[in-house]
Structure 1
Amino acid sequence: MKICRHWGARSLYIMLIAAMGIFGNAATATPSSDGDLQLVIVLSRHGVRSPTAKPGALDVYASRPWPSWPVAPGYLTPHGKQLMAMMGSWYRAYYADAGLLPAKGCLDQASVYITADDEERTLESARGLLDGFDAHCSLDVHTSPKRGPDALFSHDFSNASDADRSLAAAAVLGRLGDDPARLAAVHASLLADMQAVLLGCTPGGCTAAQTAGKKVLMDQDSSVTSASGDGLIAIKSPMHNASTFAENFFLEYAEGMPMSDVAWGRITAVKLGQLLALHSSYSDISLRTPVLAKAYAGTLASRIAATLQQRAASKPVTGAIGQPGTKFIFLVGHDTNIETLGGLLDLHWMLSEQPVDPTFTGGALVFELRRIAKTGQYVVRAYYVSQSLEQMRHSMPLDLQHSPEQAPIFIPGCSQSTPGYDCPLERFSQLIEHVTSR
């Protein structure tokens, strides 16, 4: 019963957020001057992309073909790159105002480091960020490989043991009351809404005649099992596909498609916000479960901690990203990287118009290293930042008066009750060591 109440409350909150208005105004951001800013690490998701499925592959779930996109499956769109450039320009203005960077002029290679996963959408997103952050200059975009010690964004579980995989499956099942079908059961109402959108019928009234030849969400089996090869677990659930469909509707909306093409004109902006609960809830189970989060994000967390330590010590630290004098680091990956790191550290955030713990395109988890002048102590602050749906859809310019939305994050086991939730660097490093070794 506790599981049901948890998921029901989570979905209800998300729907209330949407009902209050999916187009909430972005808050005006003002950089805090409390503490001498030393280093900023931005873990960003790539920008707006096309769906990863091949054209026609998902038509079996819908009464009409899905809309066409201007790029290949999974590629960054020109609109998505433009939005990343806007975010890059905002980061430059925001941290110039904070005194970390000069407002104009080219930045040197020693002060800025940017690396991306080696996929088209992440590499082009990194280049888009630089178009706004350091326009017409010569900063390099480094590529993170899929394998080896320098892999930041990818996960190789080919050497995982059967015990590792069994533990991962058990951890997920333990959150579901040992019943894989429960995840879909507690979201039955939203799944019915999704089914109605897909087939163009009334919720609860999608008859056999209407679904002839089409796959139906609730007809899919539910299971959680150990995986093989590069995987840890395999989750089957109506929520899996529903999560993908909700994400695709979001991408159509953020891309700026006519509303007649967003979910075939069958949803409003508010309904989109409600359906995104399906994606948020599935991601929470499949990515934020601690055992999985450690497997996916343990290396990334350790390297972020080493990077903060290196800047504070002003000398090389094993595993650190960039150089001791680096002031700004972009890590451009995927929503899975933000989700799993958030799950590993039990980080949570809310923005006014988005689902719980959003990881929208172009959004980022940001870590700041500051030195408190009075004590000489180094502290870490974290926040999540994202353009609003309105800003994304309409390519609204960003500046210090029209900022993306920000949410300061309390780091459990580390943050203090100070402005910005200061987390002492030494304690942050101990926390990372603890969660990656347990």
Structure 2
Amino acid sequence: MKNRFRVGRLCSMLMLAWLPAFVLHAEAASSQGELRLVIVLSRHGVRSPTSEPARLNVYSRDAWPVWPVPPGYLTPRGKQLMTIMGRWYRTHYAQAGLLPATGCMASSLDVVADDEQRTMESARGLMDGFDPQCAVTISAAPRKGADALFAHDVSGVSDAIRTQAQAALLGRIGGDVTRMTTANAGLIEQMQGVLMDCAPGQCSAGKTPGKKWLMDQPASVEPGEGDELLTIKSPLRSASTLAEDFYLEYVEGMPMSSVAWGRVAPTQLGQLLALHSIYTDTTLHTPVAARAYASLLAIRVLATLQQAADSMQNANAVGGVHTKIVFLIGHDTNIETLAGLLKLHWLLPEQPADPTSVGGALVFELRYHRDGNRYEVSAYYVSQSMQQMRASAVLDVAHAPLTAPIFIPGCSTSVPGYPCSLSQFATALTQAVRPN
């Protein structure tokens, strides 16, 4: 009897020690709400430069490195890195209670990719990690029509809107397109020094005849035609593209002697990527352009969130009523224009503002709160770090990718994670798409 009393007392003490932690965990889960749906808008994985080597070589003293795939194609390493991200998503959202840790997800998973090699293969790599034992259907988005989620089809945009987009862009740069160059001359000169292996400020076009020099490139902004909203020429645009090509060499895992010919350290590479960030912000975050490019995608994202909340089929939604996670695999421009439309911004430790890393994603989460019978939306950006990509590092709880919670203007509250009600998110998004 005495021993039984001691055992019972010990059990009671252990229960009392365990109970507060359990209660705190339950209260935290309750305060965050029940996770009902996740939409992952991801960029494709590591690809080769989109230009042929011969076109790149005219910008540099030395020949650019050879890639294992044709221009613009996903590399085998790029697919491997997407698999690592897919495995992380599965583990992360299993821990969040949305998904089982193992087993097929066909009934509650929808995957849509742009109809290009680098996006379709990225989606396959992602699913190799997310649902490795099951055959996942990956839908290819068409180039035109209501399902053209990634194509930026602006062929139906009027000449008046194209002219307005031109004015909106010029209005951001003082009405003079050359100011994009002069305002960023220091970074462009730094890039020129890397390309031609000369000291910034001391490079001269006369030293290397037959080569293209960044500062000699024409600068203009004109209304576009067909699928092109604007036709933009600028030294900043050229420098932006070449900086990202250096970044791709690094995350592909090329020897440092091949990354910008061994002329940049990883920290300098991050600085040069500001060229890409600045150009993107100027051209794709401008509201008129962002609205023309991203409105269809925004409407489909909202419809998918509303469908999950209403438990009723919505014709504009991606996936079915019982879908728990939607993967949309597109391009950096899809993330950039949607962010521009909704005025979203984020920051990671190693890159300039609003990076759109290969394999990185803009994520929307929908949560249900039983108290008040309400739904909330929150957003964050996630990406493997440059070093994690370079090392093909395994991701887990202790070695997670980089994340940044995002404040949604006109919607978010000050609660950690910056959630906002679904109704306010719908109002903010609708106002962005149809300001009048």
Give your verdict on TM over 0.5. yes
**1:235 CA displacement:** 1.2
Structure 1 residues 259-301: Cα deviation after superposition (integer angstroms, max 9, x where no partner): 0000011111111011100010001111111000000100000
The answer to whether the Cα contact below 8 Å between 1:191 and 1:217 also exists between their aligned partners in 2 is yes
Q: Answer yes or no: is 1:52 the counterpart of 2:57.
A: no
The equivalent of 1:73 in structure 2 is 71
Q: Answer yes or no: is 1:349 the counterpart of 2:346.
A: yes
Alpha carbons of structure 1 residues 293 and 31: separation in structure 2 relative to 1, 3 Å: farther
Percent identical among aligned pairs is 59
The answer to whether the Cα contact below 8 Å between 1:37 and 1:100 also exists between their aligned partners in 2 is yes
The equivalent of 1:21 in structure 2 is none
Mapped to 2, the partners of 1:180 and 1:31 lie a distance apart of 51
Alpha carbons of structure 1 residues 212 and 222: separation in structure 2 relative to 1, 3 Å: same
Amino acid at match of 1:88: G
The equivalent of 1:91 in structure 2 is 89
The equivalent of 1:63 in structure 2 is 61
Mapped to 1, the partners of 2:241 and 2:256 lie a distance apart of 19
**1:32 CA displacement:** 9.6
Alpha carbons of structure 1 residues 351 and 272: separation in structure 2 relative to 1, 3 Å: same
Structure 1 residues 368-402: Cα deviation after superposition (integer angstroms, max 9, x where no partner): 00001222110001000000000000101001111
The answer to whether the Cα contact below 8 Å between 2:38 and 2:325 also exists between their aligned partners in 1 is yes
Alpha carbons of structure 1 residues 263 and 118: separation in structure 2 relative to 1, 3 Å: same
The equivalent of 1:5 in structure 2 is none
Higher RCO (C-alpha 8 Å, min separation 6): 1
The equivalent of 2:203 in structure 1 is 206
Amino acid at match of 1:124: E
The equivalent of 2:35 in structure 1 is 37
SS in 1 for 2:341: helix
Q: Answer yes or no: is 1:419 the counterpart of 2:416.
A: yes
Structure 1 residues 172-231: Cα deviation after superposition (integer angstroms, max 9, x where no partner): 000000010111111111111100111111111113442211111101121111111221
Mapped to 2, the partners of 1:64 and 1:280 lie a distance apart of 26
**1:31 CA displacement:** 9.3
The answer to whether the Cα contact below 8 Å between 2:205 and 2:213 also exists between their aligned partners in 1 is no
The equivalent of 1:434 in structure 2 is 431
The answer to whether the Cα contact below 8 Å between 2:271 and 2:351 also exists between their aligned partners in 1 is no
Mapped to 2, the partners of 1:208 and 1:366 lie a distance apart of 45
Mapped to 2, the partners of 1:192 and 1:435 lie a distance apart of 37
How many residues are matched?
408
Amino acid at match of 2:261: W
Mapped to 2, the partners of 1:58 and 1:88 lie a distance apart of 33
Instruction: Output the TM-score relative to the length of structure 1.
Output: 0.91
Mapped to 1, the partners of 2:397 and 2:30 lie a distance apart of 13
Larger radius of gyration: 2
Mapped to 1, the partners of 2:75 and 2:124 lie a distance apart of 13
**1:433 CA displacement:** 1.2
SS in 1 for 2:232: strand
Alpha carbons of structure 1 residues 353 and 96: separation in structure 2 relative to 1, 3 Å: same
The equivalent of 2:231 in structure 1 is 234
Alpha carbons of structure 1 residues 368 and 39: separation in structure 2 relative to 1, 3 Å: same
Mapping 1:350-389, distance limit 5 Å: 350-389=347-386
Amino acid at match of 1:131: D
Runs of 4+ in 1 over 4 A off after TM superposition: 30-33
Mapping 1:265-276, distance limit 5 Å: 265-276=262-273
The equivalent of 1:8 in structure 2 is none
The equivalent of 2:143 in structure 1 is 146
The equivalent of 1:257 in structure 2 is 254
SS in 1 for 2:376: strand
Mapped to 2, the partners of 1:222 and 1:166 lie a distance apart of 17
Alpha carbons of structure 1 residues 31 and 82: separation in structure 2 relative to 1, 3 Å: farther
Structure 1 residues 3-46: Cα deviation after superposition (integer angstroms, max 9, x where no partner): xxxxxxxxxxxxxxxxxxxxxxxxxxx99971100000000000
The answer to whether the Cα contact below 8 Å between 1:347 and 1:410 also exists between their aligned partners in 2 is yes
Amino acid at match of 2:316: G
Q: Please, which runs of 5 or more residues in structure 1 have no aligned partner?
A: 1-29
Structure 1 residues 141-186: Cα deviation after superposition (integer angstroms, max 9, x where no partner): 1110001111100122222221111001000000000010111111
Partner of residue 156 from structure 1, selected from 125, 128, 153: 153
Partner of residue 325 from structure 2, selected from 324, 328, 333: 328
Mapped to 2, the partners of 1:354 and 1:207 lie a distance apart of 30
Mapped to 1, the partners of 2:153 and 2:31 lie a distance apart of 41
Q: Answer yes or no: is 1:317 the counterpart of 2:314.
A: yes
Mapped to 2, the partners of 1:31 and 1:365 lie a distance apart of 23
SS in 2 for 1:370: strand
Mapped to 1, the partners of 2:241 and 2:31 lie a distance apart of 41
362-371 vs 98-107, which deviates more? 98-107
Instruction: Output the TM-score relative to the length of structure 2.
Output: 0.92
Mapped to 2, the partners of 1:37 and 1:101 lie a distance apart of 10
**1:136 CA displacement:** 2.1
Amino acid at match of 2:99: L
RMSD: 1.3
The answer to whether the Cα contact below 8 Å between 2:40 and 2:364 also exists between their aligned partners in 1 is yes
Alpha carbons of structure 1 residues 308 and 56: separation in structure 2 relative to 1, 3 Å: same
SS in 2 for 1:421: coil
Mapping 1:179-194, distance limit 5 Å: 179-194=176-191
Amino acid at match of 1:155: H
The answer to whether the Cα contact below 8 Å between 1:273 and 1:355 also exists between their aligned partners in 2 is yes
Partner of residue 119 from structure 1, selected from 116, 120, 132: 116
Q: Answer yes or no: is 1:301 the counterpart of 2:301.
A: no
Amino acid at match of 1:123: M
